[in-house]
Every structure is written in C-alpha cells, then in structure tokens.
Amino acid sequence: MDGAEPIRIGVLGAGAVGKLTAAALVSSGMSVRLLVRRQEQAASLRQNGLVLVNSDGKRLRFPVAVSADPVAEAVDLVMVTVKSIDTEQAARQVAAMPGTPCVLSLQNGLGNGETLAALLGPERVLLGVSTYGATAQSDYEVAARGSGELVVGGYLGCHPLADKLAAIFSKAGWNVRVSSDMQREVWKKALVNIGINPVTAIHRVPNGAILERPDLRQIAVAAVWEAGQVAQGLGVLSADEAAAGVERMLLVCRATAANRSSMLQDVEKGRRTEIGSLNGAVVRMADELSVATPVNRELVNRIRQIEAGNCDGAYCT
C-alpha cells in the first residue's frame, strides 16, 4: 500500500459506531464494505442503503457494499467497531481474510489493542478513539447524536495509515487528529465511558442527565476519579491528565446530552454490555495495584445484575 493507492476499507460491525463511521468514509469518497454478522441486516442494508439521520433530522442515504461473509473479502484495512466482548472473534475473522489487512480498533474499553495484536501481530494494529455520539435506529439507520473528536494512531506508536485515515475523516468534516501515544488516548476515552456508560445504563437516562442530577454526577465523577488513580498507578496518565478526566467526561456529557449511551442501549435491548472492559478492567487492575475502587466495583455489580435480569425495580423501569 503506497501513499498514492486508494485504501479499500472494510467496517466490521454495523452497530451505531460502524454505521456512523461507514457513512463518514463514503461521504469522503472511499470505497467501503460493511461486514456484518446477520444475513437479515445485510439484506436490509442492501435494500435501503445506509441512512444517516443528522441532528437537524435530515436523512442522508449512502450506497454501501455489504457482506455477511467477512472472510471472503479482500480489503486493505478493517475498522473493527464490534463490542469489546467480541474483539477476539473479530481478530479471528480478520486473521482468516485474504492478504494481511491492517485493523483499526474503534471500540470502547481497555484491552482491545492487546487482543488484536496478540492474534494479528502488533504492527498490523491501529487504535482509534471517538467521542462522536450515535444511536442505531434500525438495521440500516443511524442517528448522529453530537460531534466530538476522533483520534487515530498505531498500536506501536506511528503507523503509515494513521495520517491517511486522518485525512479521509477530515474530508468528511470530522474533527480528527493523529497521536503516537494511543495507549494514553485509549485510557482518556475509557475514563469518559467509565463515568457515563454504567450510570446512564443503570438509571436509564441520556448522557445529559449526569449534568442535571447531582446524585448521578457524584457517582460518575467518583468512578472516573478512581479509574484515574489506576491509570496513574500504571504510569499511563500523569496526575494532571487523570484529574482532567473528570472534566472531559462532563464535557462529553454536554456535547452528547441527547445521546443514550451504548451501554444504556445494550441494557435496553437485553444485550451483554462492555462493563468488563471498562469499570471491570479498572477493578481488576486496581486489585493488582492495591488501589481502592469501591464505586467502580458497585457499578460493575449493578450492571452484572441487570445483565442477569436480577436488578431491583428502582433500576429496571
């Protein structure tokens, strides 16, 4: 792949993030193939195209190539947008694809890069973090729910595809930058999700409620603060960066106030959540470092109860 060649991009997973990302790529003129698991979703996307509903209610239709058999497709880069609980399966699918495509993890949570690198080799892996809000409205429709920032970079630091991708997303009007320290960026984004996602999922509220309700704000802030201590203990974030995590989480609540977080969408649909790679990962690492994380532990317990259908009435409205 030299600088002049166009990149053939596959987007693995057509949930909210996958559809939003694919729409951005198509709008910047890229050839994109959505790689989906369900035949039913593939048929719906082929029939209707990919529909993006903008925040002003305007509907934009994007023609996309769709495949329900990812391992048959030859692409240069696979953008992995599946839930972190499915990262290992995604890595196995990419390993079976022809050629040796690079992968970019555009997922929530900690540990996705490590899982992909273990199976595919670290030099093939890029990481991305996005704070663009999106809600899937059907198999083929996604609603944009507030803009944020996209950061991309190599798992090992610099990667030749990172600048190309930044240029592509920038052409689509996204606010994007390249980083050579994606571990730090992944942690910064994880701090946002660690505060917003379980709190909105337990209380069934949109992100903006964390700013409006002092009780929710207190829990979200405490969860981020604890996670920041862990990131500092690991040497990934400085004290200032860990402290800035709280402000950043509140800023994202403001920018995506109307959005229902991905974890809230998961519990509403009775799906497993990403709690294990967010607050759960924090608790596991905190135990190794002997750092106390009571708020995160409690959030993990509550989400696990909801997943198991055992939550009490106050949280299962």
Using CB under 6 A as the criterion, which residues of the chain lie in contact with ligand PAF when the complex forms?
108, 131, 133, 192-193, 196-197, 207, 252, 256, 259, 261-262
Tell me the closest approach of the beta carbon of residue 168 to ligand PAF, in angstroms. Answer: 21
Q: Which is nearer to ligand PAF, 73 or 266 (CB)?
A: 266
Nearest residue to 80 via CA among 112, 117, 43: 112
Tell me the closest approach of the beta carbon of residue 5 to ligand PAF, in angstroms. Answer: 32
Q: Compute the Cα dihedral for 73, 171, 162, 141 and give only its sign.
A: negative
Tell me the closest approach of the beta carbon of residue 273 to ligand PAF, in angstroms. Answer: 10
Write down the residue that tokens 């369900």 correspond to: 38
Q: Which is nearer to ligand PAF, 101 or 148 (CB)?
A: 148
Write down the residue that tokens 């979703």 correspond to: 41
Residues 166-180 as b/e (b if ≥16 CB within 10 A, e otherwise) read bebbeebebebebbe
Q: Which is nearer to ligand PAF, 130 or 232 (CB)?
A: 130
83 included as an active-site residue: no
Q: Which is nearer to ligand PAF, 3 or 270 (CB)?
A: 270
The active-site residue out of 83, 164, 188, 189 is: 189
Tell me the closest approach of the beta carbon of residue 215 to ligand PAF, in angstroms. Answer: 19
CB 76 within 8 A of CB 8: yes
Provide the 3-class DSSP secondary structure of residue 51.
strand
Tell me the closest approach of the beta carbon of residue 170 to ligand PAF, in angstroms. Answer: 20
CA distance 134 to 261: 8
Q: Which is nearer to ligand PAF, 27 or 262 (CB)?
A: 262
CA distance 210 to 212: 6
Residues ≥6 apart with Cβ < 8 Å to 179: 151, 152, 153, 185
| Residues carrying an active site annotation | 189
